[in-house]
Amino acid sequence: MTRKLIPGRLVIASHNEGKVREITALLGPYGVAPVSAGALGLPEPEETGTTFAQNAALKALASATASGLPALADDSGLEVAALGGRPGVYTADWAERQWFEGEKGRDWYMAMGKVEGLLCEIGPDVDRSAAFVCTLCLAWPDGETALFEGRAEGSLVWPPRGTMGFGYDPVFLPHGAELTFAEMAPEAKHAISHRAEAFNKLVAALF
């Protein structure tokens, strides 16, 4: 039987503001008091895994052991069918750019443009199907972990549309929807997103 999560403090093992905002909203009704790894000054481990599950586990374990509290990590990304599933676990890396010497930043418009450029190279009839994937890992300070996965299927639009959400939301049109994730109100995204699907599985198992 899966170990249960006792209401109390929980570290969100992420330094990504968009993810912290969404996970905090999803945790709202469950009596846990989330605090982000960034707010606690916990170090951000290097994501050396080659799967979402490996990276989620290494981030959750790093925060749980450093803080002595249960920690929840999210590793997620965009899988584009015509690109053989890329960028996948490297989704955040595709947005990395050197702004000036020594300083790194993330440029989501550059990253979305990179994906679009590769699709254009394939040709005008390219399959534009894509999926957002999310693996959540809950780690306890004693090293026990539990993993949950979610997926949102859709297609990529160009040019980007909308200003809500984060990351690649402006180019992702979920199946059956007319609005991109960045055009939807947060509650509408939470009803169908990869993160919400993984989160619902976590709630069913741990609360």
Active site residues: 75
Q: Which stretch binds ligand IMP (CB under 6 A): 96-104, 122-130, 155-163, 164-172?
A: 164-172
In angstroms, what CA-CA distances link 105 with 75, 94, 95, 99, 154? 19, 11, 8, 6, 28
Determine if 76 is a binding residue for ligand IMP (CB under 6 A). yes
CB of 132 to ligand IMP, least distance (A): 5
Kindly state the number of chain residues that form the binding site for ligand IMP, as judged by CB under 6 A. Answer: 17
Among 75, 79, 183, 197, binds ligand IMP (CB under 6 A): 75
Q: Which stretch binds ligand IMP (CB under 6 A): 64-72, 118-126, 162-170, 199-207?
A: 162-170
Report residue 188: phi and psi, to 5°.
-70, -40
Determine if 92 is a binding residue for ligand IMP (CB under 6 A). yes
Q: Distance between CA atoms of 56 and 76, rounded to whole angstroms? A: 8
Report residue 137: phi and psi, to 5°.
-125, 125
**Residue of 97, 154, 163, 107 lying closest to 129 (CA atoms):** 154
Q: Distance between CA atoms of 31 and 140, rounded to whole angstroms? A: 17
Residues that bind ligand IMP (CB under 6 A): 16, 47, 75-78, 91-92, 132, 165-169, 181, 193, 195
